[in-house]
Amino acid sequence: MPPSDKRRIRRAYALGAVLCTALAAGACGAAPARQDAALAAHAAHAAPAPPSASASASATVEQLASALGCTAELGTQAEELRQGSCETGQGAYRMTTFAATAGLRSWLAEAEPYGGVYLVGDRWVVTAPSEDALAGLRERFGGSVENGARHTGH
């Protein structure tokens, strides 16, 4: 892997860690009552579905794509993570697997402000056009659905 890719990945991890720390410290400035309600709603929605008996604890990009009914085109292949993407009739998907849970959490902290729907498993995440597009994958591999920031008109 070129040195520039390694630097970019390290910067993303570092920025993710800073963002996670800021969020944990309450730096977002939301009112406590609204924050508690939002956290409760998120926790209820994001409860992990139990994986089926055939699910593996740490799925590969190829396994995730196959379960979606497509073949992954691999992009990034580094020690820390692997990324692939594919399309089905329901839309475009991006699958990312991580060497460590900390990398997954850092990646999510960076990605969620941009919006989107994420199915988050054990060291893997799949982004999809909608929550419905992730239902079959969630039944097979488990995981929890997380939603990125919602953006509205200015």
Residue 103 maps to a domain: yes
Residue 56: the pLDDT is: 42
Domain tally for the chain?
1
pTM higher than 0.85: no
Which residues of the chain fall short of a pLDDT of 50?
A: 14-56
Residue 1: the pLDDT is: 57
- Summarised one tens digit per residue, pLDDT across range 50-95 is 444 344 458 999 999 999 999 999 999 999 999 999 999 999 999 9
Residue 152 maps to a domain: no
Residue 138 maps to a domain: yes
Residue 154 maps to a domain: no
Residue 35 maps to a domain: yes
Residue 153 maps to a domain: no
Q: What is the separation, in whole angstroms, between the first and last Cα of the chain?
A: 40
> What range does the domain containing 84 cover?
3-147
> What single string gives the DSSP state of each residue in the chain?
--HHHHHHHHHHHHHHHHHHHHHHTTTT---HHHHHHHHHHHHHHTPPBPPPTT--SS--HHHHHHHHTS--EEEEE-SSEEEEEEEETTEEEEEEEESSHHHHHHHHHHHGGG--EEEE-SSEEEEES-SGGGHHHHHHH-BEEEE-------
